[in-house]
Amino acid sequence: MSDLHELLYELKKREDFEIRVNVQPAIKLPAGLNKKLIYEISEAKNEPAWMTEHRLKSFEIFEKWHEPDWGVSREELDLSKIVPYVKPNAKKTTTWEEVPEEIKQAFDKLGIPEAERKYLAGVGAQFDSEMIYKNIKEELKKLGVIFTDIETAVREYSDLVKEHFMKLVPPTDNKYAALHGALWSGGTFLYVPKGVKVPLPLQSYFLFGNPGGGQFEHTVIIADEGSEVTYIEGCTAPRYDVVNLHVGTVEVYVKKGAKMKYLTMQNWSKNMFNLEIKRAIAEDDAVMTWVSGSFGSYKTMVYPATILKGNNSVSENISISFAGPGQHIDTGSKVIHIGKNTRSTVDARSISIGGGWSFYRGLLKIMESAKGSKASVSCTGLMIDNKSKSDTVPIIEVYNTDSDVGHEAKIGRIKDEQIFYLMSRGLSESEAKGLIVKGFIQPVVQELPFEYAIELNRLVDMEIESSIG
């Protein structure tokens, strides 16, 4: 009895002094990341006053906001390392000798042309896409399409840009959006006028070579009423960068009756933190399609989102993510149904191999106003070997009864019998697995322009070979 009394007595003493709350440590900013830097950047770009103000305001928000409490661990991310590179006129290039071997080998295997290699490896400032682009430029001009790098657009189409810039993804969205808002540099501005149907997919390729591009690109796309356009960002070839943080932001406005397709093939080098924010808003009768392929980077967080604001608007979200050795890919989709009779589909496929971790995180929200809406989500995970992890965590919120919502997911592996069968027809083990994986990603591949599809298939072969070996 006395023992217990003692114990209780001790507890009582502590009770009076115990601090029950964990205090949040104050945010320490990395050296050099301050208002002076922001001013420098803005001045060097010759920006209008409203943009400078925007950067400063974003920076203030960044200082105050807390780190998001979910997703991949970002302990190893050191913001101080990026500071030297966001300064204007920073020398961002490396030498060819410094480019990692695996990147060089990948270029070989994928058959990337000489000129492009230097650009993709961050060695050259610009590669010669001028020729390809020149002809397309003429066509677009006739149609009234504005397709330019975003810094130019900020200066030459100031009002149009101001109306749309970081309105869909405000700096208050999360800490990284705020950082992006302060330091953004490079990106695309695309405006398609009413009723114009752009006959060929536009590629960010065409605008490569922007000064300071890479880390904090900002892209704004406006598809005006009744227009149609496809935009392709990135490429399947690996991209190497000295700075290992990429916080790109994409804002897409699909106006009444317009159709927009945004394709991304991301293959950042395996030391990168790739945190992207992609958001689209669809008005009445608009159709928005996200097609995403995530292959590279060390840690990825990207969730293409569509807000189905208008009645009868439609969202399609097709993605593949490939988590190889040491990679943690946390991707997904977000769809919010607000208008009536809206439709959305999500087809998310993930492949994990060689110890990779693929994590699907989705949000599907049907608001009270979204009567008569239909949504379906399908996630499939293919685990190629037994060292990897595949998770799916969908969040489905249905706030009105007059809607049809379905979700399903399956996680599994390639069966031994399948491999044996293919091998008995002469294929090697990695060829067999490659074939099956390519079949698995078919829905995404068929969305891509021909050259991409070929590159993508080669990429798959390469990844599987290197993981099995």
| Of the candidate residues 292, 312, 388, 467, the single one contacting other proteins (CB under 8 A) | 388
296 binds other proteins (CB under 8 A): no
Question: What span, in angstroms and rounded, lies between the C-alpha atoms of 302 and 403?
Answer: 27
412 binds other proteins (CB under 8 A): yes
Question: What span, in angstroms and rounded, lies between the C-alpha atoms of 390 and 394?
Answer: 13
Per-residue tokens: 51:
């943009």
345 binds other proteins (CB under 8 A): no
321 binds other proteins (CB under 8 A): no
Cβ–Cβ under 8 Å, residues 286 and 262? no
78 binds other proteins (CB under 8 A): no
Cβ neighbours of residue 9 closer than 8 Å, sequence gap 6 or more: none
359 binds other proteins (CB under 8 A): yes
In the complex, the smallest distance separating the C-beta of residue 300 from other proteins, rounded to whole angstroms, is 12
| Of the candidate residues 8, 90, 132, 200, the single one contacting other proteins (CB under 8 A) | 8
429 binds other proteins (CB under 8 A): no
In the complex, the smallest distance separating the C-beta of residue 13 from other proteins, rounded to whole angstroms, is 9
Question: What span, in angstroms and rounded, lies between the C-alpha atoms of 408 and 360?
Answer: 13
Question: What span, in angstroms and rounded, lies between the C-alpha atoms of 132 and 427?
Answer: 39
Per-residue tokens: 316:
């399609």
36 binds other proteins (CB under 8 A): no
Question: What span, in angstroms and rounded, lies between the C-alpha atoms of 439 and 407?
Answer: 22
- Helix/strand/coil for 148: strand
CA distances for 374 relative to 247, 344, 380, 400, angstroms: 32, 6, 20, 11
Per-residue tokens: 277:
């924010």
Beta carbon nearer to other proteins, 74 or 87: 74
In the complex, the smallest distance separating the C-beta of residue 404 from other proteins, rounded to whole angstroms, is 6
Radius of gyration of the chain (CA): 24
| Residues facing residue 335 across a β-bridge | 306, 364
Element (H, E) at 328: strand 328-337
148 binds other proteins (CB under 8 A): no
Element (H, E) at 420: helix 416-423
- Helix/strand/coil for 336: strand
398 binds other proteins (CB under 8 A): yes
In the complex, the smallest distance separating the C-beta of residue 305 from other proteins, rounded to whole angstroms, is 18
- Helix/strand/coil for 363: strand
Q: Which stretch binds other proteins (CB under 8 A): 63-71, 196-204, 312-320, 436-444?
A: 63-71
Beta carbon nearer to other proteins, 219 or 388: 388
Cβ neighbours of residue 138 closer than 8 Å, sequence gap 6 or more: none
Question: What span, in angstroms and rounded, lies between the C-alpha atoms of 306 and 302?
Answer: 13
Per-residue tokens: 456:
């993508």
Q: How many CA within 13 A on the CB side of residue 394? A: 22
In the complex, the smallest distance separating the C-beta of residue 292 from other proteins, rounded to whole angstroms, is 20
328 binds other proteins (CB under 8 A): yes
| Of the candidate residues 102, 108, 139, 397, the single one contacting other proteins (CB under 8 A) | 397
| Of the candidate residues 49, 70, 91, 95, the single one contacting other proteins (CB under 8 A) | 70
14 binds other proteins (CB under 8 A): yes
| Of the candidate residues 158, 400, 418, 466, the single one contacting other proteins (CB under 8 A) | 400
| Of the candidate residues 44, 136, 160, 411, the single one contacting other proteins (CB under 8 A) | 411
389 binds other proteins (CB under 8 A): yes
Cβ–Cβ under 8 Å, residues 239 and 269? yes
| Of the candidate residues 160, 405, 436, 454, the single one contacting other proteins (CB under 8 A) | 405
Q: Which stretch binds other proteins (CB under 8 A): 47-55, 139-147, 171-179, 389-397?
A: 389-397
Q: Which stretch binds other proteins (CB under 8 A): 87-95, 114-122, 197-205, 400-408?
A: 400-408
21 binds other proteins (CB under 8 A): yes
Q: Which stretch binds other proteins (CB under 8 A): 115-123, 175-183, 281-289, 385-393?
A: 385-393
| Of the candidate residues 53, 108, 130, 368, the single one contacting other proteins (CB under 8 A) | 368
Interface residues with other proteins (CB under 8 A) are 1, 3-4, 7-8, 11-12, 14-15, 18, 20-21, 68-75, 326, 328, 330, 355, 357, 359, 368, 381, 383-402, 404-413
